[in-house]
Amino acid sequence: MNTSLILLILAIIGIAGYVVGARYSMALVGGISSKLHSRPGYYGSFVAVWAIVPAVVILFVWLVASPMYISSSVRGAFPEDVKAQSQAEQGLSYGMISSIARGMNALTREEIARVENNPVELRTALGAKGVPLAGDPKPFMVKAAADLNTMTFVSRMLMTIVVLAASIGGAFSAYRQIAPRFRARNRVEKVILGSLVVASSIAILTTVGIVASMLTEAAHFFAAVPAWEFFFGTVWDPRFAAAGSGGSEGQFGLIPLLLGTLYIGFVAMLFAVPIGLFSAIYMSEYASPQVRSVAKPLLEVLAGIPTIVYGFFALTTVGPFLRDISSQLNGLVTGDYANFIQAQSVLTAGFVMGIMLIPYVSSLSDDIITAVPRALRDGSLGLGATRSETIKKVVLPAALPGIVGALLMTASRAVGETMIVVLAAGVAARLQINPFEPMTTVTVKIVNQLTGDLEFTSPQTLVAFALGITLFAITLCLNIYALYIVRKYREQYE
Amino acid sequence: MTDVVSPAAGIPKAKSIRRDIGIKGRYAAERRFRAYGIAALSFGIIFLMLLLWSVVSKGYTAFQQTMITMPVEFSQQIIDPQNERATNPQKLMTANYPVVARNALAKLLNASVDDRVAARAIGQMLSDGVRVQLRDLVVANPAIIGTTQTVRLLASGDIDSAYKGQIDLTVSQENRKINDQQLGWMKQLSDSGALAKHFNGGIFVNGASSRPEAAGVGVALIGSFYMMLIVLVLALPIGVAASIYLEEFAPKNKFTDLIEVNINNLAAVPSIVYGLLGLAVFVNFMGLPRSASLVGGLVLTLMTLPTIIIATRAALKAVPPSIRAAALGLGASKMQTIFHHVLPLAMPGILTGTIIGLAHALGETAPLLLIGMVAFVANYPTTPLDPSTALPVQIYMWANEAERAFVERTSGAIIILLLFLILMNVGAILLRRRFERRW
């Protein structure tokens, strides 16, 4: 029986359990529900929960555990010469066995009897059924595949029986417990509370998953490339891993990527910070409510536009515009119409990213500026300061820690931004300081290394995880520090 | 004022000297400061307009496609010369339909197909997509072989660009994709009314194609739809459950603090990191298929969860404690109070937050690139496990195409994406206006 069918049956048992439980509880008290401890629905839910939850838990544990058990026992039965081979080759053999096993399910009984004695024929027989094999099967594989099929079949049967038994047994024992004074509601609410806890721990699981998955993959990478060569290397030249080549000849220096990331982020902040900050100041201190009610949503539209759209804008509009204007300028000054700004450059990417970041800076600082107490402003204005003096000398210093926090959060966005730099910054990893030339970033390289055909054993792809964990660490530090500052600041005025 | 007698009339009137405290300079500084603010604000808004204008001006033409309406003779000689279609149905699939279309066009232009150069030039005016168009017609109704039918066929991408005026005709004909002879024919056809722009339904339904004129976002729309569905089905209940726990039940302890810090951090983790997580956990470890919208949906779910949790907690917080007190006072259990009273009142806020989270997820590209959604998918995915692509990923792929006509397609796809986003955001705003209560 396949898994979805089992789940369907479980659902049916659950619904039936609900109806039966609710009816039975009412019948116990002769239809006078006030004699029950809980509403009849809770008795029904109690039965349904016992019918479904344990069975589903068993089902999932079984689904995860049984393939592991089967694969290890099949591998355990490999002949000695195969066991002596490397893990990768054993993995290949196992892959072949499982495709043979899949194919054998499509063959008839007579055909299986024939190929069992003659494994060479197997490949053609399976090919005819639409299951291609990578190589000629060895005799032990046919037997192993047959074993695999038997074990899978037995495991499936057992699983179906155990899960359905658990479901019916759970429902029955819950049904037996129903009595007028039985506290069904409390029991059901406990289960609900448990599921709420499970849901909220998914947040933790995600973080654990991010860190664990990236650390394990990065550890594989650092096994092939020394960590200090990665963190302090100044040359990024991963080479392509052709199948079969050793693969670790490339150079994986983080420094050019990191500098590119920081440089582009810096240029972006150079545009975003003054514009965002001045917009925030204008909107919170000067603008009339009408202007504010129009301008604020308009700026926030900028935050709602997907970054791929910014990337396209940079690629097709801003980049060519900067290139052409630079060649015109050059022509006016020197008479030589060569462009000195490349279409893909630090400036292009930084500028467009700066536009993207304006709403982050402005809305975060707007909140913070508005939170500065009225009394501070009134005091300053009362002493005769102009508005701008009040803002510069009183409001901004008071809001400064919060604004710094907001800017740090914005900076972490700039560091982690991907689509704009993928389309507008270029792919050449170079160490240079000219903002008119292309540079590349950590995120661009993650995308480059992981799109296309990949093989998860070469450092060329695994390096993406090392880059990812670096990125994660940088943004995490920025964010935690920013949160810390913002929180501390908030307490000041509360 | 002057006739008021001063009490100190005898004292010589000294002109009161105002101390120069630089008031003029300070007011000028004030005006400058204000002007900076206005300039910054208008800069942001101008760039928003510029961005939208550049997309719309490049993209609106994508919703029209140049097509040629002409009588096509489904000649038996070309399609099925040996008359073997009864025995070999494959024949109709593999017949040389481009020649059928080319001959029809040549007849319309009064040109001879014996001149091979001219014949080739005529053939190039039609899209490669005519092969499929005509094949589908013939396979659906083999009886039309031997008859002449009026059919509307796609013009090639170059003709389309030229007809829309996107090709610079001042360049000498060797250096452009369409030569003077073809231009003349194009003029002749459009004068006779055979060649005209029509509404381009194909961009909404077609799958990937290397021909810009036949490419569309159909597959991407389905993929995005599946992903949004998965995000909605998973992220909404999990997010709401997590927020209820944190807001209503969680005791103040280290574990709760840890979850809180975690959620705040997850909201700020770069999206590409979620892509790496999806690749390592869902694809590598769990063995789910690459390029499947299921994996994309799971990754986007994890990414959207913090947004939904933060919005839901704010909505729950906004429900006044008096509601809880009243329900508890009437004997409801804590669980009943929350599920029967607090949650329904918080629902508009939760849904608004969810829609905004979904809108973000819809526009997200980077994590999807890593789990292999950058795929050339021409067939509709029937389940979330089939290879598929997503709307923003389709935009990314088209943005990387070199052909001029793809710029138009890319902008068109961006317009479609932005329309969806506007729709969702307007929905969220309306929801908030209609149902939000101020207590």
Can you name the residues that pair with B68 across neighbouring β-strands? B153, B195
Residue A39 predicted with pLDDT over 80: yes
A195 within some domain:
no
Q: Residues A24, A175: contact at Cβ < 8 Å?
A: yes
| A481 shares its domain with A405 | yes
| B231 shares its domain with B325 | yes
| B129 shares its domain with B251 | no
* B369 Cα to chain A: minimum distance (Å): 7
| A168 shares its domain with A271 | no
Cβ contacts of B245 on chain A, cutoff 8 Å: 193, 196-197, 199-200
| B123 shares its domain with B87 | yes
| Residue with the larger pLDDT of the pair A128 and B318 | B318
| A380 shares its domain with A294 | yes
B156 within some domain:
yes
Q: Residue A426 corresponds to which amino acid?
A: G
**Given an 8 Å threshold on Cβ–Cβ distance, is B280 in contact with A204?**
no
B276/A contact by beta carbon, under 8 A: yes
Q: For position A467, what pLDDT does the model report?
A: 93
Cβ contacts of A480 on chain B, cutoff 8 Å: 261, 265
| A401 shares its domain with A476 | yes
B345 within some domain:
yes
Cα gap A307→A313, rounded to integer Å: 10
Q: For position A249, what pLDDT does the model report?
A: 64
Quick: pLDDT tens for A212-221.
988 998 998 8
The answer to which of A31-45, A66-80, B264-278 has the lowest mean pLDDT is: A66-80
- Other C-beta atoms closer than 10 Å to the C-beta of B197 total 16
Residue B244 belongs to domain spanning: 218-435
Q: What is the DSSP string of A163-225?
A: HHHHHHHHHHHHHHH--TT--HHHHHHHHHHHHHHHHHHHHHHHHHHHHHHHHHHHHHHHHHS
B242/A contact by beta carbon, under 8 A: yes
Query: Which range has highest mean pLDDT (A396-400, A427-431, A484-488, B296-300)?
Result: B296-300
Quick: pLDDT tens for A261-296.
999 999 999 999 999 999 999 999 999 999 988 888
Confidence grade of residue A20 (pLDDT, cut at 50, 70, 90): very high
* B338 Cα to chain A: minimum distance (Å): 12
| A309 shares its domain with A423 | yes
**Given an 8 Å threshold on Cβ–Cβ distance, is A282 in contact with B34?**
yes
Residue A24 belongs to domain spanning: 3-182
| A343 shares its domain with A472 | yes
- Other C-beta atoms closer than 10 Å to the C-beta of A216 total 13
Helix intervals (H) in A284-395: 289-304, 307-313, 319-334, 346-371, 374-382, 387-390
For all residues of chain B together, what is the average pLDDT?
A: 86
**Given an 8 Å threshold on Cβ–Cβ distance, is B261 in contact with A416?**
no
Structure tokens at B3: 């006739």
**Of A138, A156, A182, at which residue does a domain stop?**
A182
Chain-centre distance for alpha carbon B337 = 41
Confidence grade of residue A242 (pLDDT, cut at 50, 70, 90): very low
A100 within some domain:
yes
A224 within some domain:
no
| B236 shares its domain with B286 | yes
B165 within some domain:
yes
Mean pLDDT of B111-137: 81
Contacts of A248 (CB under 8 A, 6+ apart): A224, A225, A459
Half-sphere exposure of A145 (CA within 13 A, CB side): 24
Which of B40, B51, B263 is the closest to A275 by Cβ? Answer: B40
Q: Which residue of B has its CA nearest to A281?
A: B37
Q: Which of A4, A60, A192, A196 to mutate to test the interface with B (most CBs of B within 10 A)?
A: A196
CATH code, B283: 1.10.3720.10
Percent of chain A residues topping a pLDDT of 90: 42
| Residue with the larger pLDDT of the pair B180 and B399 | B399
Structure tokens at A397: 């210093």
Cα gap A156→B31, rounded to integer Å: 79
CATH code, A291: 1.10.3720.10
**A346-371 and B23-59 are packed helices; what angle lies between their axes, rounded to 10 degrees?**
130
**A-to-B residue pairs, Cβ atoms closer than 8 angstroms:** 257
SS3 letters across B367-413: HHHHCCCCCCCCCCCCCCCCECCCHHHHHHHHHCCCCHHHHHHHHHH
Residue A241 predicted with pLDDT over 60: no
Cβ contacts of A380 on chain B, cutoff 8 Å: none
Structurally, chain B folds into a number of domains equal to 2
B10 within some domain:
no
Q: What is the DSSP string of B3-33?
A: TSPPTTTTS--PPPPPP---HHHHHHHHHHH
Residue B95 predicted with pLDDT over 60: yes
Quick: pLDDT tens for A243-260.
444 444 678 889 999 999
Cα gap A311→A352, rounded to integer Å: 8
3-state class (DSSP) for residue A345: coil
Quick: pLDDT tens for B3-25.
555 555 556 666 666 677 788 88
Q: Residue B418 corresponds to which amino acid?
A: L
Residue B92 predicted with pLDDT over 80: no
Chain-centre distance for alpha carbon A177 = 44
Sheet containing B64-73: order of strands:
B148-154, B64-73, B195-199
Residue B242 predicted with pLDDT over 70: yes
Q: What is the DSSP string of B59-103?
A: HGGGGEEEEEEEEEE--HHHH-TT--TTT-THHHHHS-HHHHHHH
Q: For position A455, what pLDDT does the model report?
A: 65
| B324 shares its domain with B253 | yes
Q: For position A247, what pLDDT does the model report?
A: 45
A411 within some domain:
yes
Confidence grade of residue B1 (pLDDT, cut at 50, 70, 90): very low
Q: For position A492, what pLDDT does the model report?
A: 64
Q: How far apart are the first and last CA of chain A?
A: 61
3-state class (DSSP) for residue B198: strand
Quick: pLDDT tens for A166-185.
999 999 999 999 988 889 89
| A248 shares its domain with A105 | no
Q: For position B283, what pLDDT does the model report?
A: 85
**Given an 8 Å threshold on Cβ–Cβ distance, is A298 in contact with B421?**
no
Identify which of B412, B225, B374, B375 has the alpha carbon closest to the alpha carbon of residue B300.
B225
Cβ contacts of A207 on chain B, cutoff 8 Å: 262, 265-266
| A367 shares its domain with A245 | yes
Identify which of A301, A292, A316 has the alpha carbon closest to the alpha carbon of residue A366.
A292
Structure tokens at B322: 């008096």
Identify which of B56, B246, B74 has the alpha carbon closest to the alpha carbon of residue B151.
B74
- Other C-beta atoms closer than 10 Å to the C-beta of B266 total 22
Mean pLDDT of A487-494: 66
H/E stretch holding A237? strand A236-237
Q: Which residue of A has its CA nearest to B425?
A: A304
Residue B287 backbone class (left: φ over 0; alpha: ψ -120 to 50; beta: rest): left
3-state class (DSSP) for residue A236: strand
* B374 Cα to chain A: minimum distance (Å): 8
| B179 shares its domain with B232 | no
| B125 shares its domain with B195 | yes
Confidence grade of residue A378 (pLDDT, cut at 50, 70, 90): very high
B7 within some domain:
no
**Given an 8 Å threshold on Cβ–Cβ distance, is A199 in contact with B245?**
yes
Q: Rounded to 5 degrees, what are φ and ψ at B65?
A: -130, 140
Q: Residues A362, A276: contact at Cβ < 8 Å?
A: yes
Q: What is the rounded (10 degree) CA torsion for A162, A163, A164, A168?
A: 100
Quick: pLDDT tens for B141-178.
878 888 888 888 888 888 888 888 887 777 777 777 78
Structure tokens at B158: 């170059």
**What pTM was estimated for this model as a whole?**
0.86
Half-sphere exposure of A45 (CA within 13 A, CB side): 15
Contacts of A322 (CB under 8 A, 6+ apart): A341, A343, A345, A347, A348, A351
Structure tokens at A291: 């202007």
| A410 shares its domain with A487 | yes
Cα gap A307→B150, rounded to integer Å: 45
| B380 shares its domain with B339 | yes
Residue A189 predicted with pLDDT over 90: yes
| A151 shares its domain with A245 | no
Q: What is the DSSP string of B103-133?
A: HHHHHHHT--SSSHHHHHHHHHTB-TTHHHH
H/E stretch holding A101? helix A87-106
Q: For position A360, what pLDDT does the model report?
A: 92
Q: Which of A4, A60, A200 to mutate to test the interface with B (most CBs of B within 10 A)?
A: A200
Quick: pLDDT tens for A150-164.
888 899 899 999 999
Can you name the residues that pair with B148 across neighbouring β-strands? B73
B132/A contact by beta carbon, under 8 A: no
A149 within some domain:
yes
* B246 Cα to chain A: minimum distance (Å): 7
Structurally, chain A folds into a number of domains equal to 2
A378 within some domain:
yes
**Of A182, A200, A218, at which residue does a domain stop?**
A182
Cβ contacts of A471 on chain B, cutoff 8 Å: 270, 272-273
Residue B355 predicted with pLDDT over 70: yes
B42 within some domain:
no
Cα gap A476→A480, rounded to integer Å: 6
| B274 shares its domain with B354 | yes
**Given an 8 Å threshold on Cβ–Cβ distance, is B272 in contact with A475?**
no
Strand blocks (E) in A56-105:
none
**Of A182, A200, A216, at which residue does a domain stop?**
A182
For all residues of chain A together, what is the average pLDDT?
A: 86
Identify which of A226, A29, B44, B262 has the alpha carbon closest to the alpha carbon of residue A218.
A226
| B228 shares its domain with B169 | no
| B115 shares its domain with B243 | no
| B136 shares its domain with B260 | no
Q: For position B421, what pLDDT does the model report?
A: 93
